[in-house]
Amino acid sequence: MTKKAGLYNEKFCKVSQHFDIESGYQAMSAIIASGDLPDVVFASTDIIAIGAYRAIQENGLSIPEQIKIVGMNDIPTAQHLNPSLTSMRLFPVQMGEAAVDLFLELVEGRSYKKKVMLGYEFVWRDSFVNHQSSEISNAKMPLV
C-alpha cells in the first residue's frame, strides 16, 4: 500500500522479532540516527509505540509537532501517554469467533480458501494532532 502511494522508504522500515518496548526504542533510535526524520511512525503495536515515544523524547523531538505516531491495539495505557497515543482498535473477540468458525468449517470438510475481513476503529488522540487524511497522503511513514 505504501509503495503504491509512493510513500515507502526502505530505510524507515524496521522489523523486529520482539514485540516489546525495547524493540520500539531501538527501531526509532536507528531511524533518528539516520538523520532523515519521518513525518509519521506506524508502530505494529502500542507497546512498540511506547518505545518509539521514549526514543523520540530522549532525542529532544516533539510528538506530534515533529513526528506523529500511530499504534495498534488501543491498549488502556495508550490514552495515558503524554501525548495520548492515536491507535487502531482491533476487536479480539470477533477475531477469536471468526477463527473458531473457520476451524470448524475446515473440520466439517470445507476444501476452499476463505477470506474474512474484520473491522477496526481508528481512535484519534493527541499523538496525531490534525486528523486530516490530506496530511497523511504526502507523509514519510515508517513501520516499526
**pLDDT by residue, tens only, the chain of 144 residues:** 667 887 777 777 777 778 899 999 999 999 999 988 988 999 999 999 999 999 999 999 999 999 999 999 999 999 999 999 999 999 999 999 999 999 999 999 999 999 999 989 999 999 997 655 444 444 444 444
Cis ω before 142 (30° cut-off from 0): no
What does the buried/exposed string (b/e) look like for 112-124 if buried means 16 or more CB atoms within 10 Å of the residue's CB? eeeeeeeeeeebe
pTM value is 0.78
